[in-house]
Amino acid sequence: MTQWQTYLAVTCSLIVVLGGIVKIYKLTKRIDASIGLDRDGRTVSERMGRVEHQLWPNGGSSLMDKVNSNERINSEISGEITIIRELLQALLSNRK
């Protein structure tokens, strides 16, 4: 192997190694951006904890509690509307 071929082989090897280092650096930056802190300084774990807090009933402050409350109110209103409709139908049928 001539000196020029050795120089070329070493240069190519360095380019491959540096390219790998750059790829790894970009990958770690990407992972850090997705897992790291958001602009408010919260971690993914903290943000997921806040989401999880909303998914299960906890005494009135979660989204699930509000949905359950709305469902209960909706059922009550539906029952009241049914009673009013039946009363109105009875009153209207008695008029004829």
CB burial readout 78-87, b (16+ within 10 A) else e:
eeeeeeeeee
User: Rounded to whole angstroms, how far apart are CA atoms 16 and 46?
Assistant: 39
- 52 part of a folded domain: no
Q: Which domain holds residue 11?
A: 1-37
Indicate if 32 and 64 belong to the same structural domain.
no
First to last CA, the chain: 114
The predicted model scores a pTM of 0.47
Q: What is the pLDDT of residue 36?
A: 75
The count of structural domains within the chain is 2
Per-residue pLDDT tens for 6-53? 989 999 999 999 999 999 999 988 887 777 777 788 887 888 888 888
Per-residue pLDDT tens for 46-79? 888 888 888 888 887 888 889 999 999 999 999 9
- 25 part of a folded domain: yes
- 74 part of a folded domain: yes
- 49 part of a folded domain: no
User: Rounded to whole angstroms, how far apart are CA atoms 82 and 65?
Assistant: 26
Q: What average pLDDT does the segment 74-95 reach?
A: 92
Q: What is the pLDDT of residue 34?
A: 75
